[in-house]
Chains A and B, each alone.
Chain A
Amino acid sequence: MKRLRNPWGRPRFLVLVTGAYILWSLIPVALAVLFAFNDGRSRTTWQGFSTRWFTGETGSVLHDPALQGALRHTLFLGVVCVLVATPIGVALALGLQRWRGPGGGTINTVMLLPLVTPEIVMGVALLLLFLQVLPGIGLGSSAQAIGQVTFTISYVVVIVRGRLVSIGRDYEEAAADLGAPPHDQLIRVLLPLLAPAIIASAAVVFAISLDDFVVTQYLSGDASTTTVSMLLYSSARAAPTPALNALATIALLITLATLGLAYLVYRRFASGSDANAMAGLEV
């Protein structure tokens, strides 16, 4: 007879698989970060701890114009993308939520397309657009910003709509009932309730912009429009030094800090209203 397992015991096999997966996904990142602090030119042999690739005299992120320029351009694109994509995305989410007429379903699907379209397709399409249809803008910063905004808007729409659905129509109706005209319903009630989702989506947009490679690469112009991800890609084959690891580490930290901050703000705002509003963060 088969021995009966204790059903209240820990599921050991699942714990093992989970632990192995976490290790497997973190080790490469940890190694890359570790070698950013290597006191030598090697990215594979440990030669002691140092911060020379961050702040050293030569070849460090702080003093190499190419690395520094890439970092600055990346952050610039990120900020522009947040400032443009977030308001448009929020407006679209509000509009789509209210859309009761025919064609609503179609527009919904269209909004989600950028999330499932292979980025390479999007990149090529945008490249053709800027070369053939809108040559006036030309390749470079503007094209990169427009390109990133194009597909990050979808994330804003998805996150903000998730929150809108969980908020429901009651609060708006209550505001109207108490005498607030439509404009006040939006400003005094809806936007404060949406604030966590708006902040979260801004953070997600920033993080995606920072990490984006394909679209940003396609729409880049001269050397001044090189981003961190592009630089990492192109010099990985040429003459890699731990300075690249240092650059990647900085990008990683900024991304993590952004998402962490957004999470904290979101929690603070969302507490007291409803717990399932957190669903908006799980993209």
Chain B
Amino acid sequence: MQGEIRLEELTKRFGEVVAVDGIDLQMPGGEFFTMVGPSGCGKTTTLRMIAGFERPTSGRIVLDDVDVGQVPPHRRSVNTVFQSYALFPHLDVAGNVGFGLKYKRLTKEEQRRKVGEALSLVRLGDLAKRKPGQLSGGQQQRVALARALVLTPRVLLLDEPLGALDARLRKDLQVELKALQAELGITFVFVTHDQEEALTMSDRVAVMSGGRVEQAGTPREIYEEPATLFVADFLGVSNLIGARASADGETCVLRVGERTLLAAAGATDARGEVKAMIRPERIAVEPQGALGDNRVPGMVERAVYIGSAHELHVRLVGGDLLRATIRNDGSALAYEEGTPVTLYLPPDALRVLKP
């Protein structure tokens, strides 16, 4: 498959600051690959190195088995959709989309045809004569996309392209972008700080922090099986419980205050002080006094209505606060604030993280 990128020991220093700290990543050809992380984690710098705007301090950027690390941006077969879109304000939409075709050895007629095709691909055919300043944010975003895609790059780089749009439009474009990628089969490398965006759109996600890759894998892997505390915390709401791990034969036993819990997921071979995590949607809320393993008593501190679900903040006897979500099935919530409850933490959802 064409469009495969391999980053090897890639490092970028700005003076004393290490923006990207020797990362290794595999981006398979034809996949939707996302780099996600908080601002300053090095994701944008990595993207800019792949585009050629920044020169790596060391390491290699291998595109289809060729090291392109020292190739200037205008000779790389990768194109970028900028966060600011960077549409040329003095050119109309057709002029923007046709900008790069000038370097492709095409006749005027072919250029015009390709511009038309690219514009209809993003459903903007009737706006070819408009200037960028006369377009809405969503339309500008499509022009930026058409301008990059018309050159049929092997890899398309997208730097938070949905960041400036409102929530509704964002959702629509997420779906559209993913569909477009699947249709074209071009490798998309997407940068975002939005964990939901990363999970919903990608074939593969790399979670970054402090210039390093914390974990890379499919959305399901990194959400369900976070390898580190950071990944668990960054992707969605997660409950972290401090515990002491010990062994009971094959299984891992966690001591949380007075109680013992069985944990069957994650680093079950860890011993001593650990953190255990569980997603709010995996916790079952039961009436006070329910019996069985892996149950802990607590008190509902807050009940938050969030539309599709209720979120309960439950204070455990030991002091830890857990959030549990209950799907909204239309009936009234049985647990008001101040109600004592029992929480069931299924062993296969209780995940042990190494500190």
Q: Which residues from chain A sit less than 8 Å from chain B, CB to CB?
A: 168, 170-171, 173-182, 188-189, 192-193, 269, 271-274
Contacts and interface: CB of A to CB of B under 8 A. Distances in A.
Nearest to B100: A178
A269 B89 CA distance: 10
Contacts of A178: 74, 79, 99-100, 103, 147-148, 151
Contacts of B35: none
Contacts of A176: 52-53, 72-74
Given A272-B131, A273-B133, A177 B90 contact: no
B82 interface: yes
A192 B96 CA distance: 14
A82 to B, nearest CB: 23
Interface in B67-91: 72-75, 78-80, 82, 84, 86-90
Nearest to A277: B89
A193 B131 CA distance: 14
B51 interface: yes
A181 B73 CA distance: 9
Contacts of A175: 88, 99
Interface of B: 51-53, 72-75, 78-80, 82, 84, 86-90, 99-100, 102-104, 131-134, 147-148, 151
Given A192-B90, A193-B90, A272-B133, A177 B79 contact: yes
Contact of A173 (B73, B78, B132): B73
13 contacts: A170-B86, A173-B80, A174-B88, A176-B74, A177-B73, A178-B79, A178-B99, A179-B103, A189-B88, A272-B89, A272-B131, A272-B134, A273-B133
A174 B80 contact: yes
B54 to A, nearest CB: 10
Contacts of A170: 82, 84, 86
Contacts of A193: 88-90
A149 B27 CA distance: 55
A182 B73 CA distance: 10
Contacts of B131: 272
Contacts of A179: 74-75, 100, 102-104, 151
A180 B103 contact: yes
B242 to A, nearest CB: 46
What 3 A-B pairs come out closest when comparing CB atoms?
Answer: A178-B100, A272-B133, A273-B89
A173 B86 contact: yes
Nearest to A174: B86
A6 B285 CA distance: 59
Of residues A175, A182, A271, which shows the largest number of chain B Cβ atoms within 10 Å of its Cβ? A175
A192 B73 CA distance: 22
Given A179-B102, A274-B89, 11 more contacts: A173-B86, A174-B80, A175-B88, A177-B52, A177-B73, A179-B75, A180-B99, A182-B74, A271-B133, A273-B89, A273-B133
Contacts of A274: 89
B141 to A, nearest CB: 14
Contacts of B104: 179
Contacts of A171: 86, 88
Nearest to A178: B100
A177 B51 contact: yes
A131 B82 CA distance: 56
A181 B134 CA distance: 29
A269 B53 CA distance: 28
Contacts of A189: 88
Contacts of A269: 90
Of residues A168, A173, A269, which shows the largest number of chain B Cβ atoms within 10 Å of its Cβ? A173
A173 B100 CA distance: 12
A177 B80 contact: yes
A66 B88 CA distance: 51
Contacts of B102: 179-180
A181 B82 contact: no
A179 B80 CA distance: 11
Contacts of B99: 175, 178, 180, 188
Nearest to B90: A192
A170 B48 CA distance: 12
A173 to B, nearest CB: 5
A172 to B, nearest CB: 9
Nearest to A177: B80
Of residues B82, B99, B102, which shows the largest number of chain A Cβ atoms within 10 Å of its Cβ? B99
Contacts of A192: 88, 90
Given A170-B84, A178-B99, A179-B74, A273 B90 contact: yes
A197 B88 CA distance: 17
Contacts of A271: 133
Given A170-B84, A175-B99, A176-B52, A181 B90 contact: no
Contacts of B79: 177-178
Nearest to B132: A272
